[in-house]
Structure 1
Amino acid sequence: MELTKQKKKLVTAVRGHKLLKDKRDELMRQFLDLARENMALRLKVEEGIRSANTNFVVAKAGMSEETLNTALMAPKQEVYLETSTKNVMSVDIPSFEYKTRTADANDIYSYGFAFTSSDLDGAVKSLADILPDMLRLAECEKACQLMSAEIEKTRRRVNALEHVIIPQAQEHIKYITMKLDENERSTQIRLMKVKDMMLEDAHKYSERPVREA
């Protein structure tokens, strides 16, 4: 019974080891794809923010601080962020989607164009254009964090199966099999000895002289 139990345990461990290795490899592939996308998005977002900052600095140099603060004090457009999750290889990855209050692209400007510089318009436009990439960057970075944690957890499970559970099951099966074989040989030897003793007794009995009546 114990041998059967250990054999079933070994079969289950080997199958689980293969499935976990496949999962780990697929997670690594998707993680690398996300890491490359994350790097490209980060460079793009940093470039957009740098461009917006440059435009803000130029706009501030050509406008008074009071005019700039008044122009940006009351935003005209509103943004609504919706969050959800999607399951990728048993990892719940966040997904962001944003909607604006109005579809008019000019609603990002909360000021009139008469008393402001075009550099301020460029800065506001740069930030508005970079918003989708910033949200996607946030998705990618969080997905990379979650997937790296899942990869590490899966790797530990694979190593535990490969270096601990499977070798232990194989060792137990080998030990039990050896014990059973040893018991079988001992039983055969005892049976042979009993058979020899019975044959010897039968031979002695047949050689005993018969008394005359």
Structure 2
Amino acid sequence: MPAINVNPTRMELTRLKGRLKTAVRGHKLLKDKRDELMKQFLDVVRENRALRKKVEDALMEAYGSFTVASALMSGEMLEQSLLYPKQSVELDMSFQNIMSVNVPVYHFKTKSEDPGEVYPYGFATTSGELDDAVDSMASVFQDMLKLAEIEKTSQLLAEEIEKTRRRVNALEYVKIPQMQEAIKYISMKLDENERATTIRLMKVKDMLLKEAIEERQEETRRAIEASGGHLGQAEEI
């Protein structure tokens, strides 16, 4: 018996063959999608690895400059220098479709194009190390935003790869084998029924032939008996 309940009819056989054809085609498309997603994912991972190293190195440099600046300046003066930023940032987000996966794309823009606006303090009371730290943070900010975009993209692609992989496995190891088994079962049942019908027809034919032969023999016997009676009457005359 197959794993799924089916009626062994020709209509069900035709329906299952159509479903099997669709499932095989869908399985191939999903495998192609999974392979392309893996290719895109590996490209994103490589880009993420290189960009993360760049961001980490830039942040280490910025933190080092801040550490030196905090050692040369008092805590109150450092806090007051960075309390009121002059520059503002506008962030827009759109989406890009990668193999039916909508991944975010961030667009970064500062309010002012003047690079000097990044320093929210006067240069008379601050150290040069603080300038280096602020400049390093300003330069790495866009890379950090790009890194966030790439990491979110890799996360979404990984989730889609996992879903696609489960669907491919479900079709390959469950659905398609079940339908193939059901088609085989129905075909065997139909062949068995056809053989049984053929045997019944042959038996009916044999019975009809036997009855016809017996009727012919009976008619011959009656004809002989009738002929014998007429001959007897003729002899008596």
- 1:113 and 2:127 aligned: no
Q: Distance in 1 between matches of 2:179 and 2:167?
A: 16
**Whole-Å separation in 1 of the counterparts to 2:134 and 2:44:** 29
Give the alignment partner of residue 165 of structure 1, picking from 171, 175, 187: 175
Give ranges in structure 2 of 5+ residues lacking alignment: 1-10, 231-237
SS in 2 for 1:103: coil
Which of the numbers 71, 77, 80 marks the counterpart of 1:70? Answer: 80
SS of the equivalent of 1:31 reads helix
Q: CA deviation at 1:112?
A: 1.9
Residue in 2 aligned with 1:35?
Answer: 45
What TM-score does the superposition give when structure 2 sets the normalisation length? 0.86
1:120 to partner: Cα distance: 1.1
Shift of 1:63: 2.3
Residue identity matched to 1:132: Q
Partners of 2:118 and 2:158 in 1: CA distance? 37
Instruction: Work out the CA distance in 2 between the residues paired with 1:62 and 1:37.
Output: 38
Deviation at 1:67, TM superposition (A): 2.6
Amino acid in structure 1 at the alignment position of 2:182: H
**For residue 136 of structure 2, what is the aligned residue in structure 1?**
126
State the shift of 1:127 in Å: 0.6
Of 39, 54, 57 in structure 1, the residue corresponding to residue 67 of structure 2 is 57
Runs of 4 or more above 3 Å deviation: none
CA distance in 2, matches of 1:49, 1:62: 20
Q: 1:2-41 maps to which residues of 2 (within 5 A)?
A: 2-41=12-51
Note the 1:112-191 alignment, pairs <5 A.
112-191=122-201
Which of 88, 91, 99 is the matching residue for 2:101?
91
| TM-score, reference length from structure 1 | 0.95
Structure 2 distance, partners of 1:116, 1:77, is 18
Q: Which amino acid aligns with 2:185?
A: Y
Unaligned runs of 5+ in 1: none
Shift of 1:192: 1.2
Equivalenced residue count is 213
Show CA shifts across 1:113-140 (max 9, x none): 2222221111111111111110111011
Q: Which residue of 1 aligns with 2:212?
A: 202
Q: Percent identity?
A: 59
Q: Distance in 1 between the 2:210 and 2:75 partners?
A: 122
Let me know the Cα RMSD of the aligned residues.
Answer: 1.3
For residues 56-82 of structure 1, give each alpha carbon's deviation from its aligned partner in whole angstroms, at most 9, with x where no partner exists: 111222223333222212111111111
State how far apart, in whole Å, the 2-side matches of 1:19 and 1:125 are: 49
* 3-state SS, counterpart of residue 84 of structure 1: strand
Q: Which residue of 2 aligns with 1:104?
A: 114
Q: Deviations over 1:26-77 (max 9, x none)?
A: 1111111111111111111111110001011112222233332222121111
Describe the SS at the equivalent of 1:93.
strand
Distance 2:217 2:78 in 1: 130
Residue type of the alignment partner of 1:47: D
